[in-house]
Amino acid sequence: MIKAIRGTRDLLPPDTALWNFAEAAVRDVFRAYNFQEIRTPIFESTELFARGVGEETDIVSKEMFTWEDRGRAASDRAQSLTLRPEATAGIVRAYIEHNLGDRGLNKLFCIGPMFRRERPQKGRYRQFYQIDAEVIGPPSSGSDSPARDAEVLEMLATLLDRLGISDWNLELNSVGTPADRVQFNEALRKALEPVVGGMCADCQRRAVTNPLRVFDCKVPEDQPVIETLPRITQFLGEDSRKHFDAVQEILTKVGVRFSLNSRLVRGLDYYTRTAFEFTHGALGAQNAILGGGRYDGLSEALGGPAAPGIGFAIGEDRLILSLQEKTTAESVLRKPDVYIAPMSSMNAEAARLARELRRHDLVVELGDDNFRLKKSFEAATKTGAKYILIVGENEVKADAFALKNLATGEQVQVPRNELAARIQLEAKS
Ligand code: HAM
């Protein structure tokens, strides 16, 4: 038997109803903050992620699904392509390519699959889904303002609360600007020098190439050493400090709770200043429900104009896991309002009725006239329909149909032109 590849999975009904429920809430909340949807390709040139996310990150150095695309003609030059491991680099590429800054399109969101070759476990997959949002624009648009950071964080708190995920934790840090990090990297290298020999191979490499990435290390034996390392917070310049203070001041004012975590540097190189994660206890080891931050130099790194930005990606798989604590798929699933049961030779009449009722926005399951009445009742009950509507010769002649409430057993004869209203009344109650 051919099975789904390890780390990928089928999202099946009724769970998909929960995914749609979450996405509908997300779209509603994003609309209130004036975000608009963008859909970027699922694969891009490898160079985009190498330059955007950073060669030294785990994502780029170990986890990407990359291949050489030869084109069709023998003379075509091979190009290295990669399944997107995240959405920000692609969105910023699109922002540059289509001059979105000039068009005032600076609040964008995207929902879709991402791909990372990670070791699969609960909440961690090789194909997973992100709900990503970015605020990006020319400096004149105020996209570098701490007000934007706070607005994005407040929006996330609103969204999680609205979904009934209330016991989240917002962890906040500032990773400073590249200028702030010159001194910090220096201090880190110095602190690592005498101890790095006892650390994992990755840390030994990172200590030379990109010491900040040592904080991404998950090896338990390395953690006591990492705990003793200097923190970026001590190296923030005046401007970064003020920016970070302003973000915290607004959050406090609007009532969004947070805790400071000076170890939080996030696993992507593009971050500047504000960096954050929302965690949720019920998730277990993979407890980051979402992560994000500011990336003021990313557009320039990709060859674009100055365009400071801030954004986040919610791990949708993990969002659903958290949601399932309180909300079941069954509770958000819309079951059929009515099951139409045609008696012998009544398929055409039944189809006509189904068409009429569906035009009134009712969910209709259409039976088959091969079924005897008993089998129709069984089928109707199995679908979870509220009503069964019997379409027999007498009913068609009278233009009035037997409508039976499957829960109460109550049966009434309803004229054709009153059917939709009658069923709707029940559907809404
Ligand atoms: P990230 O922290 O790499 O950030 O991913 C964001 C979220 O995606 C994580 O917090 C997690 O919930 C989810 N996630 C990541 N990897 C997996 C996986 N293998 N399986 C399931 N869920 C996963 C970014 O991707 C940035 N692009 C976020 C961002 C947007 N920063 C600024 N703008």
Check pocket membership of 278 for ligand 1, CB cut-off 6 A: no
Check pocket membership of 86 for ligand 1, CB cut-off 6 A: yes
Q: Which CATH architecture has domain 15-177+237-323?
A: 2-Layer Sandwich (3.30)
Quick check: 428 pLDDT over 90? Answer: no
In angstroms, the CA 122 to CA 322 distance is 12
Contacts of 319 (CB under 8 A, 6+ apart): 22, 131, 163, 165, 289, 290
- Strands 127-136 and 168-174, by their bridges, are unpaired
Pocket test for ligand 1, best of 118, 130, 273, 295 (most atoms within 8 A of CB): 130
Check pocket membership of 290 for ligand 1, CB cut-off 6 A: yes
Q: What is the pLDDT of residue 104?
A: 80
**Average of per-residue pLDDT values in the chain:** 95
Distance 313 CA to ligand 1 centre (A): 5
Q: Which residue, among 313, 415, 397, has the nearest Cα to 87 in the 3D structure?
A: 313
Torsions phi, psi for 262 (to 5 deg): -75, -5
Check pocket membership of 116 for ligand 1, CB cut-off 6 A: yes
Distance 105 CA to ligand 1 centre (A): 23
Give 212's DSSP letter: G
pLDDT tens figures, 219-228: 999 999 999 9
pLDDT tens figures, 369-427: 988 999 999 999 999 999 999 999 999 999 999 999 999 999 999 999 999 999 998 66
In angstroms, the CA 154 to CA 72 distance is 49
| Angle subtended by helix axes 238-254 and 146-162, to nearest 10 | 30
Quick check: 136 pLDDT over 90? Answer: yes
Helix, strand, coil percentages, rounded to 5, for the chain: 45, 20, 35
Q: How confident is the model at residue 74 (pLDDT cuts 50, 70, 90)?
A: confident
Torsions phi, psi for 79 (to 5 deg): -130, 140
Q: Any idea where the domains of the chain sit in the sequence?
A: 15-177+237-323, 334-428
In angstroms, the CA 201 to CA 97 distance is 39
Distance 130 CA to ligand 1 centre (A): 7
In angstroms, the CA 236 to CA 182 distance is 11
Distance 288 CA to ligand 1 centre (A): 8
pLDDT tens figures, 298-327: 999 999 999 999 999 999 999 999 999 899
In angstroms, the CA 276 to CA 175 distance is 10
At the top level of CATH, the class of 334-428 is: alpha beta
